[in-house]
Structure 1
Amino acid sequence: MALLAAVGHAQRLRIIAELAEGRMYVSELARRLGISRPLLYMHLERLESAGLVVGRLELSEDGKALKYFESAPFDLHLDVATILAAVRQDEEDRAAQAAPGQDSQNK
């Protein structure tokens, strides 16, 4: 589900498109996209957890810490079975969140 959620957002697709040109540090990427760094980090976190981008912290020559991101190789195949599995997983996750502790009460 994380993969579908990651590619199901226009802003995240724009991030992937920018990173297709090569690795970039967060401030530069935020400027290119015209979004704030906190919002960009939120999107990058979702893309990274889905395995679509990789982030690395590096030190510049002047000792400044820069977070670089680059796209990860991926090949996404989407079919009805994948969508059905994602929907089922989402429904199970929602049910588990709606009824915390219910399993322990029924035992």
Structure 2
Amino acid sequence: MNVEQLSATLAAVASPQRMLILTELSAGRVHVSELARRVGMSRALLYMHLAKLEATGFVTTALELSPEGTALKHVSLAPFSLTVDIAVITQAVANAATTHE
């Protein structure tokens, strides 16, 4: 992991709203509209947060057809483990230093 990736990962989980989204998804896959209701935010705002979480690998999304033929977007928590210690930070900085030389 380089510095940019580490920064993006940390920024993705640094938001209280995104932490709430991750917590809600720990119970299982959910439709976007239902998730928006559960976390108390508009779908537009939820989509913004989901984009950051998906870009950093914390969630996945999938379109599915309802029995009525409507496209429904579902969100799932991706398996992840996040450890940040001095070794991770040092390695990220070292990776950045070697790519800039």
TM-score class, shorter: 0.7 to 0.9
Instruction: Give the drift of 1:2.
Output: 1.6
Aligned residues: 88
AA aligned to 2:71 is: A
Give the TM-score normalised by structure 1. 0.76
Cross-structure match for 2:57: 51
RMSD of aligned alpha carbons: 1.7
Residues 11-90 of structure 1 aligned to structure 2 (within 5 Å): 11-83=17-89, 85=92
Q: What's the TM-score once normalised by structure 2's chain length?
A: 0.80
Structure 2: stretches of 5+ with no match in the other structure: 1-6, 97-101
Larger Rg: 1
Structure 1 residue 58, shift from structure 2 partner: 0.5
Query: Which 4+ runs in 1 deviate beyond 3 A?
Result: 81-86
Q: Secondary structure at the match of 1:63?
A: coil
**Per chain length, whose mean CA-contact separation is higher, i.e. which structure has more relative contact order (CA < 8 Å, sep 6+)?**
2
Q: Identity percentage over the alignment?
A: 55
